[in-house]
A and B are shown apart, each in its own frame.
Chain A
Amino acid sequence: MTTIRDAAQKLMQTAIGLAPERWLPGGTPDPLIGRHGAIGSSVPRIDGPRKVKGEARFAAEVPAGNMVYAALVYSTIARGRIATLDTDATQAVPGVVLVMTYRNAPRMAPPALFMSDPRAAGASSLPVMQDDTIHWNGEPIAVILAETQEQADHAATLVRVTYTKETASTSFDAATAQAHRPDSVLGEPAVIEIGNAEAALAEAAHQIDRTYHTPRHSHAAIEPHAATVWWEADGRLVVHDATQMLNGTRWTLAGIFGLKEEQIRILSPFVGGGFGGKTLWNHQILAIAASRLSGRPVRVSLSREGVFRVSGGRTTTRQRVALGARADGTLSALIHTGIAAMTAYNNCPEQFSFPARHLYAADSFKLEQKVADLDMVANTFMRAPGESIGTFALESAIDELADSMGLDPIELRRRIEPVKDPTSGHAFSARHLLDAYARGAERFGWSARNPTPRARREGEWLIGMGVATATYPYYRMPGGAARITLTREGQARVAMASHEMGMGTATVQVQAAADRLGLPIAHVTFAYGDTALPPGTIAGGSSQTASIAAAVTAASEKLVPALLKLVGNDSPLAGLRAGDVEARDGGLGHRSLPERFESYASILSRANRDEISAEAEAPMPLEVQKYAMHSYGAQFCEVRVNAVTGETRISRFLGSFDAGRVLNPRTAASQFRGGIIMGLGLALTEETLFDARTGRIMNPSLADYHVPVHLDVPQIDVIWTDSPDPHAPLGAHGIGEIGITGVGAAVANAVYNATGRRIRDLPITLDKLL
């Protein structure tokens, strides 16, 4: 893991060397922040018609001539070796083209683990099918290629395998005895201690010291992981993937197969839901290897069970939150520690202690994360990794403290609102959490809440209200570049290898580029989803919107001087420099002299050019080194709990967010709601069941893994402060993950208010309330 820290440090040193002044103290905020144009309007999704007509083509739907279908066979033990492997009956099935096992798989380097290098995308660093070793229960041990999926699936059932078992670590409870601190948690220290928090806790007038448990979760995107792959005659590799890491996947595959990056093209224009799960797992690597061996294009489309076996989800945690408070509610101690299950070959420690590093003022802190190594499929990032379940523990504990002190939980949060980041000491770039609380409380009717638990009842139903803070960091990823091409017709084509998984990427980026270039949105297109375009950054950490916007800004700043170079002496722009002009009305104009204007079409046609192009890389995200940059929210929930059956229903929900400037209210509302709904699943129904004896996932299906369905989802109200962050491109924060944070605690706190029962172990199923 030292490599990760080294890489992070190296990255920062390079960054500081580049030292762009934009978005930093003394720098000028993005000029688009104050302007009202396409940005901020509810533009319908550009790809809407294709999606409702079923015309959006996903990875498993790309045609390839002479293609074969893959089926995988999964190990049924967690650790050991393959003793015997009989594939004769499989080979004999009509239509079978190839049976690949460790015996004939090509030699491949292990994947570079995500974050071991800024370009790495591997979900684990384990070698893929290189010997007879088994590393987790469900690891693919054979790939069958056949002319049809039916033949491949049938042939896969005929593989006969026996194992020599070795002792596996499959019990989280047992493994916690050897829990250890990781070298870093996403580049941050695993432990932060300020003052002596344990001593302060012991002396505090009011104390809460609780343990919370959260289970494993599955992303459960409705599109199963899939790829259609082939090798060209000249040795180039084409991968139609469902991915949120186009360029990372390309770089990592190049390493695995000993190729140059330029020899690989990854395409992924539509992804049927990602949530952190659509990254580089074994199935793409195996399909590519099998395609090489067979000489045929291969489609691998994981079965739903396969998704659970091959790709990991959110891991399980045990967390302790302890709060010491004075009579006025201010905190003398804030302790948030715990352990997450992980493997020895991945790097996702589930940063549950992150919210406590930034949310509240306290005299002393003890924040520590450990990991316990298990033999299981590599766990990974899932929507607000850490923050989703960390806020469950922290925000439940805050509610417990408020309740024990007889304080309103919103009032308690007012009293512990910090003036600067409590652990880094940095100034907040923008923080309006209390404003979000005030607006939310007003709209939700919080004042009607009876603070006494179990005080409101309608027939069989106990009714309660709860609230919790949402928080998620602002990230912007380095390494992306955008290209803008302006044509003589006054059209702009913006291109960057980025991702659309439902966020509305193209729609919002067209809005942003239109305003940036002074064009109507109908004159702008955004090309993405293809590594043939300038490199994009990952769709992760809610970073993509800002990452793209920064790159497009950089490209536009290169485009303007290039355009000015083209203007002749008789142009109204003659003699002007980039700093004198702005993009408006389909051209460039002097900032204060309206008559000094020339349209792009006119500039290009006078210069006798069909088009002009500029490409530039975004500057390093130094703003996050100077400021504490986060999004916030106040999640309000009303539940009805059946006093007889223990069933919990969500009757009302409101999310009041403070997440920078909202670029498109229509798509933003959908993202906020989507996060909240996944949070309702986290609160009430979702749990990936893991057999602690065998390491087997016991509910690998959408029938047994319970995501919220229509009847579970009430009308969800979302509002936002719309306060721009002056240090972020467009003043905007990514909003894909903030919605899920705080929801677990808001529900648990409402359940407590309804029933008097405090559930500290997710999900809140009815057996726990009886």
Chain B
Amino acid sequence: MLITINGQGMEVALDPRTSLLDLLREHLELHGTKKGCDQGACGACTVLADGERILSCLALAVQYEGRSISTVEGLADDGRLHPLQQAFIDHDGFQCGYCTPGQICSAIGMAAEIGRGVPSAVTADLAATTIPPTRDELRERMSGNLCRCGAHNGIIDAITEIYSAEAAE
């Protein structure tokens, strides 16, 4: 099958049981995407499929034939960190770093959801066309990404820095 990973088309032959996560980690040596549970409970495996965040451990790779997948390895531009990656460093938004790629990819997908006006459980006005990225909105929407080191404050600070400024523009 043909699949695009970080802008690069590739032809892969797979055991149909292979998850998208294992395709990345075990077949393509792209270990940036992490496995924390392999059952949809931790968010460490979050990647972007055509810009939408998905849990790659719950996705069979063959379902993504022809689709475009972005992983943490594809975020830096010509060696320059993505602004959100830099913000994670600036706000100390990680300790061990294991949940970090998932948090970053998830935040990028999440920001797009807010931008599209998709409400969350804490959105007060479901009819609103623009949703302000308040701390509560961000915390609610990032709650599928666990962090056991307890870097939550730094993570939300980093996301706030990048996306609240963007929303204000």
CB of B96 within 8 A of CB of A148, answer no
Interface residue A710 (Cβ < 8 Å from any Cβ of B):
yes
Distance (whole angstroms) from the CB of B164 to the closest CB of chain A: 15
Closest to A669 in B: B92
Contacts of A715 in B (CB 8 A): 135, 153
CB < 8 Å: which of A57, A148, A224, A502 contacts B94? A502
Complex partner residue of B85 from A53, A270, A703, CB under 8 angstroms: A53
The verdict on B90 contacting chain A, using a C-beta distance below 8 Å, is yes
Report which of A47, A275, A504, A670 forms a contact with B148, defined as CB distance below 8 A.
A275
Cα separation A304 to B90 with both chains bound (whole Å): 31
Beyond A272-B97, A703-B39, whether A222 also contacts B146 by CB under 8 A is: yes
B127-169 at interface with A (beta carbon < 8 Å): 135-136, 138-140, 142-156
- A452-460, A630-638, A675-683: which one contacts chain B? A675-683
A707 interface neighbour in B122, B148, B156, Cβ under 8 Å: B148
Question: Do residues B37 and A702 form an inter-chain contact, with CB atoms below 8 A?
Answer: yes
Report whether A502 and B36 are in contact in the complex, using a CB–CB cutoff of 8 Å.
no
With A and B bound together, what is the CA distance between A504 and B149 in angstroms?
Answer: 12
Neighbour of B104 across the interface among A52, A60, A151, A703, CB < 8 A: A52
Residue contact B37 to A53, C-beta cutoff 8 Å: no
Beta-carbon contact of B31 and A58 below 8 Å: yes
Asked whether A221 is an interface residue with its Cβ less than 8 Å from the other chain, the reply is: yes
Asked if A51 is at the interface of the complex by the 8 Å CB criterion, the answer is yes
Minimum C-beta distance from A308 to chain B (A): 11
Residue from the set A222, A270, A708, A715 with the largest chain B CB neighbour count within 10 Å: A222
Which B residues are in CB contact (< 8 Å) with A667? 92
**Which residues of the other chain, A, contact B44 by a CB distance below 8 angstroms?**
222
Q: Is the interface of A mostly helix, strand, loop or mixed?
A: loop
Instruction: Say whether A666 faces chain B, with CB atoms less than 8 Å apart.
Output: yes
Given A224-B36, A711-B143, 17 more pairs with CB closer than 8 A: A49-B81, A52-B86, A52-B88, A53-B72, A53-B76, A53-B85, A54-B101, A148-B26, A219-B148, A223-B98, A504-B95, A670-B154, A702-B39, A702-B41, A710-B140, A710-B156, A715-B153
Complex formed: what's the CA distance from A90 to B136 in Å? 50
* Known contacts A270-B97, A272-B97, A273-B96, A670 near B151 by CB under 8 Å: yes
Beta-carbon contact of A222 and B42 below 8 Å: yes
User: How many B residues face the partner with a CB closer than 8 A?
Assistant: 63
Contact bitstring A632-672, B, C-beta under 8 A = 1, else 0 = 00000000000000000000000000000000001101110
The reply to whether A224 and B100 form a contact with Cβ atoms under 8 Å apart is no
Which residues on A sit within 8 Å (CB–CB) of B104?
Answer: 52
A365 to B60, CA, bound (A): 61
- The 5 A-B residue pairs with the shortest CB-CB distance in the complex, in nearest-first order: A54-B32, A502-B95, A272-B98, A51-B97, A674-B150
Say yes or no for A63: interface residue by CB 8 A criterion.
yes
Q: Judging by beta carbons under 8 Å apart, are A148 and B101 in contact?
A: no
Contact flag A51-B94 (CB < 8 Å), given A674-B150, A702-B146: yes
Tally chain A residues at the interface, Cβ within 8 Å: 64
Pairs across A and B, CB under 8 Å, 13 listed: A52-B100, A53-B72, A54-B72, A56-B97, A60-B35, A150-B15, A222-B147, A272-B98, A301-B35, A304-B36, A502-B95, A670-B149, A711-B122
Which partner residue on chain A sits nearest B142 by CB separation? A710
Stretch at the interface among B17-25, B48-56, B111-119: B17-25
Rounded to whole angstroms, the CA-CA distance of A675 and B148 in the bound complex is 10
Complex Cα spacing A52 to B149, Å: 15
Question: Which chain B residues lie closer than 8 Å to A301 at the CB level?
Answer: 35
| A271 in contact with B96 given A49-B81, A54-B31, A54-B72 (CB within 8 Å) | yes
Give complex CA distance A755, B33 in Å.
44
- Contact in complex: B99, A222 (CB < 8 Å): yes
Enumerate chain B residues within 8 angstroms of A671, measured Cβ to Cβ: 95
User: Considering the chains assembled together, what is the distance between the CA atoms of A188 and B26 in angstroms?
Assistant: 47
Question: Considering the chains assembled together, what is the distance between the CA atoms of A80 and B21 in angstroms?
Answer: 38
Taken residue by residue from 330 to 354, chain A's Cβ proximity to chain B (1 for < 8 Å, 0 otherwise) reads as 0000000000000000000000000
Cα-based distance from A386 to B15 in the complex (angstroms): 47
Beta-carbon contact of B96 and A49 below 8 Å: no
Mask, A130-156, CB within 8 Å of B = 1, is 000000000000000000111100100
**B-side contacts of A716, CB under 8 Å:** 153
* Closest Cβ–Cβ distance, residue B146 to chain A (whole Å): 6
Q: A723 on the interface (CB 8 Å rule)?
A: no
Q: Is the C-beta of A303 less than 8 angstroms from some C-beta in chain B?
A: yes
Structural contact, A304 and B148, CB atoms closer than 8 A: no
Considering the chains assembled together, what is the distance between the CA atoms of A703 and B55 in angstroms? 14
- Evaluate contact between A45 and B37: CB separation under 8 angstroms: no
Q: Does A48 contact B (CB under 8 A)?
A: yes
State how many angstroms separate the Cβ of A233 from the closest Cβ of chain B: 25
State which of A45, A54, A271 has its C-beta within 8 Å of the C-beta of B71: A54
- Name which residue of chain B comes closest to A69, CB basis: B26
Residue of A nearest to B36 (CB): A222
Q: Given that A223-B34, A273-B98 are known contacts, is A52 also in contact with B155, CB under 8 Å in the complex?
A: no
Nearest-Cβ distance from residue A647 to partner chain B, whole angstroms: 14
Given A53-B85, A707-B146, A710-B155, residue A303 in contact with residue B38 (CB < 8 A) = yes
Cα–Cα, bound, A715→B99 (Å): 19
B147 — nearest CB in chain A belongs to which residue? A222
A559 contacts chain B at the CB level, 8 A cutoff: no
Question: Quick one: which of B63-77 are within 8 Å of A by CB?
Answer: 71-73, 75-76
List of A residues within 8 angstroms of B150 by Cβ: 670, 673-678, 708, 713
Cβ of B39: which chain A residues have Cβ within 8 Å of it? 304, 701-703
Residues of B within 8 A of A673 (CB): 150-153
Residues in B whose Cβ lies below 8 Å from that of A47? 97
* Cβ contact of A304, chosen from B33, B38, B85, B140, cutoff 8 A: B38
Tell yes or no: B11 within 8 A of A by CB: no
Minimum Cβ distance to chain A for residue B124 (Å):
15
- Bound-complex Cα distance A151 to B18 (A): 10
- Determine the chain A residues whose CB is within 8 A of the CB of B30 once the complex forms: 54
Q: Give the CA-CA distance A52 to B95 in the complex, in Å.
A: 11
Complex CA distance for A377 and B133, rounded to whole angstroms: 45
Instruction: Tell yes or no: B2 within 8 A of A by CB.
Output: no
Contacting pair A304 B41 (CB below 8 A): yes
Interface residues as binary, A171-188 with B (CB distance below 8 Å gives 1, 0 otherwise): 000000000000000000
B89 at the interface (CB under 8 A from A): yes
For the complex, is B125 an interface residue (Cβ under 8 Å from A)? Answer: no
Q: Judge whether B25 and A701 touch: CB under 8 Å.
A: no
Q: A53-B73, A222-B44, A303-B38 are in contact. Are A710 and B148 (CB under 8 A)?
A: no
Question: What residues of B have a CB within 8 angstroms of the CB of A503 in the complex?
Answer: 95
Given contacts A54-B31, A304-B41, A707-B146, contact A674 B85 (CB under 8 A): no
